[in-house]
């Protein structure tokens, strides 16, 4: 029984939704082969929609509105059961290019049974009805999609009056107004049919690449409620201005007192405070670090919490995200429950009340403490090995849902000239591979680069200091030879991506039971400019971590003094003139001298 047949067979529950469906092309689609997730409003839910919308019956709903309603309630690529997700954002967007967020609560009137909500406002009445082409969940309300931009959505939230005032006073609200790039165009074949691209090793050398139909600008805000401010003695906007000055005059003493009267100046303390809460990319609760089944089966949480780093809209700053079992934290330092800096907790959908936090061009998340770029964050929390997955290096990879897409072996392609912080020259293909558990790569994904490529990327800012800059990659015989440049200065000889670890030029030797011997081997390998991969990650339930795989490597590209207020660029140029040679770009590491040069040595995680 297909989804369409299921809805018709249960017409006593879904007759009104079926009428809406049949006024669109999508009822027929739900009767075809595929993998769909359908959130079907029952008749009571449709009646609630009619009452608040002012329509007398479904027959009075305009055809284009019927279209929007249906697209909002269908995910076309994937059957998602509550047993697979539990809480957070579904891995695929709905047909209207919007996120579907699940949250849960206990039904005190029904023996505390678990109840699921869709986008906070639609309660699941029945769930996980399996059909031959997917799954159907029955809900008691039509899922609404906000037409408000992010700053307006924040202003609408009565618990965020102080932060909203600061957002307007600093002018940062005006920085959150973009939505669609009107200059972007992509042909229907590239969007819907895809193109086979060379990016895979072994027998299946080609992978299908699909390009986004639209290019979106999206944002995320991490916000404190008025209650959080009140607990810190901040009762109004003037209190927040004084707090911001007390923090940012310490972080930037050279600017103290210079810009206090101009709240729109990027070096003003309040402007820095607000800007540090904003990121120029969209990220749902479970999008920031490795989560879900990938975390459960691939991440060794005994040695490391899943983490990632992202540049904020406060110039020269980044955030450190960590995902221990206790939830999602920003600027936390430690392992599991053993922490030296607790950081700020991001509240999950179930901890965030009943307000839908999704805007037309982004989302906001509540935090439980005041978030700020303090000297402690800069000098302690970020005094660590900063490993950034390649799929996190451009906001565009997240804004179109390319990063974090799970369950499909596909590529999301990106047109040259439409990748923020990246410049891909003619003849360069750039695509983000979906998360695949069995892949021998960090976080089970990669940015695949092919052709006779020439690619430049902007590195995220890091606190001032001396860093080793490293490239994480997987070697294979079909790959290329890459000359790397830092700010146009060559980083030694080209990196031959075809050479495996045991080659004498690299010196990879398998670990033994002798720790001293392992350390000596690591030092000898490092002296050649290479390192083994980290041992915090493994392919799906594998016995071996990436460190134990001789074809997953780190190359030390350069050692340089980096400054937070000066941009740095890495350029990667394919030396071979072979269009079939390619590069599986895994991650970048920026490791401070305090870590790689410490007396106790750098850990293997």
Q: Does one domain contain both 368 and 391? A: no
269-294 pLDDT, tens digit each: 999 999 999 999 999 998 999 988 88
243, containing H or E segment: helix 237-251
Residue 202 placed within a domain: no
Residue 104 placed within a domain: yes
Measured distance between the N- and C-terminal CA atoms of the chain, rounded to whole angstroms: 48
Contacts of 125 (CB under 8 A, 6+ apart): 42, 138, 139, 140
Q: Among positive and negative, which fits the CA dihedral 80, 84, 87, 90? A: negative
Q: Does one domain contain both 351 and 400? A: no
Interatomic CA distance for residues 487 and 484, integer angstroms: 10
Phi and psi of 390, rounded to 5°? -60, -30
Of residues 515 and 206, the one with the higher pLDDT is 515
463-522 pLDDT, tens digit each: 999 999 999 999 998 899 999 999 999 999 999 999 999 999 999 999 999 999 999 999
Interatomic CA distance for residues 561 and 468, integer angstroms: 9
Choose one of 340, 357, 381: the last residue of a domain. Answer: 381
Q: Does one domain contain both 304 and 438? A: no
CA 15 to chain centre: 38
Q: Does one domain contain both 365 and 452? A: no
Residue 203 placed within a domain: no
Q: Does one domain contain both 393 and 375? A: no
Q: What percent of the chain has pLDDT over 90?
A: 80
Q: Does one domain contain both 328 and 401? A: no
Q: Which of 202-206, 324-328, 421-425, 575-579 shows the lowest per-residue confidence on average (mean pLDDT)?
A: 202-206
Interatomic CA distance for residues 99 and 525, integer angstroms: 45
Q: How confident is the model at residue 556 (pLDDT cuts 50, 70, 90)?
A: very high
Residue 601 placed within a domain: no
Q: Does one domain contain both 428 and 522? A: yes
The answer to whether 366 and 577 have CB atoms below 8 angstroms apart is: no
Per the listing, tokens 């990667």 go with: 572
Interatomic CA distance for residues 470 and 413, integer angstroms: 25
Helix (H, G, I), strand (E, B) or coil at 142: coil
CATH of the domain at 10: 2.30.180.10
Residue 189 placed within a domain: no
Torsional class of 465: left (φ above 0), alpha (ψ -120 to 50), beta (otherwise)? left
Q: Does one domain contain both 376 and 403? A: no
Q: Does one domain contain both 66 and 91? A: yes
89-99 pLDDT, tens digit each: 888 889 988 88
Per the listing, tokens 């402690």 go with: 376
Q: Does one domain contain both 437 and 504? A: yes
Torsional class of 171: left (φ above 0), alpha (ψ -120 to 50), beta (otherwise)? left
Q: How confident is the model at residue 201 (pLDDT cuts 50, 70, 90)?
A: low
The verdict on pTM exceeding 0.75 is yes
CATH of the domain at 533: 2.60.120.260
The residue segments making up the domain with residue 432 are 208-213+386-596
Tokens of 563: 């400054």
| Alpha-carbon distances, residue 118 vs 72, 288, 484, 592 (angstroms) | 11, 20, 46, 43
Interatomic CA distance for residues 305 and 335, integer angstroms: 6
404-441 pLDDT, tens digit each: 887 778 899 999 999 999 999 999 999 999 888 888 99
Amino acid 115: pLDDT: 87
Choose one of 381, 397, 427: the last residue of a domain. Answer: 381
97-110 pLDDT, tens digit each: 888 888 888 665 56
Residue 250 has pLDDT above 90, yes or no: yes
Phi and psi of 293, rounded to 5°? -65, -30
Choose one of 381, 413, 445: the last residue of a domain. Answer: 381
Residue 265 has pLDDT above 90, yes or no: yes
Interatomic CA distance for residues 200 and 193, integer angstroms: 19
Residue 230 placed within a domain: yes
- Percent of the chain as helix, strand, coil, to the nearest 5: 25, 30, 45
The answer to whether 308 and 292 have CB atoms below 8 angstroms apart is: no
The mean pLDDT of the chain is 93
Q: How confident is the model at residue 365 (pLDDT cuts 50, 70, 90)?
A: very high
Q: Does one domain contain both 263 and 330? A: yes
As a whole number of Å, the CA-based R_g of the chain is 25
Residue 409 placed within a domain: yes
Q: How confident is the model at residue 86 (pLDDT cuts 50, 70, 90)?
A: low
Quote the DSSP letter at residue 236: S
Q: How confident is the model at residue 577 (pLDDT cuts 50, 70, 90)?
A: very high
Number of compact structural domains in the chain? 3
Residue 145 placed within a domain: no
Contacts of 497 (CB under 8 A, 6+ apart): 473, 475, 476, 479, 480, 481, 482, 583, 584
Q: Does one domain contain both 284 and 309? A: yes
């Amino acid at each position: 029984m297909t989804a369409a047949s299921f809805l018709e067979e249960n017409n006593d529950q879904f007759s009104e939704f079926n009428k809406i469906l049949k006024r669109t092309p999508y009822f027929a689609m739900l009767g075809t082969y595929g993998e769909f997730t359908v959130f079907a409003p029952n008749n009571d839910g449709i009646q609630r929609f009619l009452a608040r919308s002012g329509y007398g019956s479904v027959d009075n709903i305009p055809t284009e509105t019927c279209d929007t309603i249906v697209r909002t309630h269908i995910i076309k690529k994937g059957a998602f059961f509550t047993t697979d997700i539990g809480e957070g954002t579904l891995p695929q967007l709905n047909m209207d290019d919007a996120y579907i967020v699940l949250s849960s609560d206990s039904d005190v009137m029904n023996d505390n049974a678990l109840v699921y909500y869709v986008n906070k406002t639609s309660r699941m009445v029945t769930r996980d009805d399996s059909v031959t082409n997917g799954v159907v969940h029955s809900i008691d309300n039509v899922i609404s999609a906000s037409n408000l931009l992010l700053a307006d959505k924040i202003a609408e939230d009565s618990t965020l009056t102080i932060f909203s005032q600061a957002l307007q006073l600093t002018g940062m609200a005006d920085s959150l107004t973009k939505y669609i790039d009107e200059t972007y165009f992509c042909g229907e074949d590239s969007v819907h049919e895809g193109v086979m691209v060379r990016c895979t090793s072994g027998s299946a050398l080609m992978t299908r690449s699909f390009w986004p139909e639209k290019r979106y600008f999206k944002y995320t805000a991490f916000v404190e409620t008025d209650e959080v401010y009140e607990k810190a003695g901040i009762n109004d906007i003037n209190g927040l201005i004084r707090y911001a000055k007390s923090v940012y005059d310490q972080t930037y003493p050279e600017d103290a007192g210079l810009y206090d009267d101009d709240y729109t100046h990027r070096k003003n303390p309040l402007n820095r405070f607000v800007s540090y809460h904003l990121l120029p990319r969209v990220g749902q609760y479970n999008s920031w670090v490795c989560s879900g089944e990938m975390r459960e089966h691939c991440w060794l949480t005994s040695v490391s919490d899943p983490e990632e780093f992202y540049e904020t809209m406060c110039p020269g700053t980044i955030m450190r995200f960590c995902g221990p079992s206790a939830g999602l934290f920003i600027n936390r330092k430690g392992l599991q429950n053993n922490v030296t800096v607790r950081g700020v907790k991001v509240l999950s959908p179930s901890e965030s009340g009943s307000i839908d936090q999704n805007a037309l061009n982004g989302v906001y998340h509540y935090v439980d403490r005041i978030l700020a770029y303090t000297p402690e964050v800069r000098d302690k929390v970020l005094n660590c090995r900063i490993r950034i997955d390649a799929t996190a290096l451009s906001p565009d990879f997240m804004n179109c849902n390319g990063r974090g897409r799970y369950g499909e072996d596909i590529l999301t392609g990106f047109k040259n000239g439409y990748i923020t912080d990246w410049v891909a020259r003619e003849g360069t293909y750039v695509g983000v591979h979906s998360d695949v558990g069995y892949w021998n790569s960090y976080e089970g994904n990669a940015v695949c680069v092919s052709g006779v490529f020439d690619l430049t990327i902007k590195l995220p800012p890091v606190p001032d200091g001396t860093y080793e800059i490293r490239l994480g990659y997987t070697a294979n015989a079909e790959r290329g030879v890459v000359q790397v440049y830092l700010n146009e200065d060559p980083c030694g000889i080209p990196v031959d991506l075809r050479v495996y670890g045991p080659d004498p030029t690299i010196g990879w030797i398998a670990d033994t039971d002798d720790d001293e011997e392992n350390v000596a081997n690591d030092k000898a390998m490092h002296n050649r400019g290479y390192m083994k991969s980290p041992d915090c990650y493994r392919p799906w339930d594998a016995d071996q971590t990436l460190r134990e795989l001789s074809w997953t490597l780190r190359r030390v590209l350069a050692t340089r003094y980096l400054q937070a207020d000066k941009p740095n660029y890495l350029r990667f140029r394919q030396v071979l003139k072979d269009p079939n040679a390619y590069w599986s770009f895994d991650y970048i590491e920026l490791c401070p001298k305090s870590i790689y040069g410490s007396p106790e040595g750098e850990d293997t995680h």
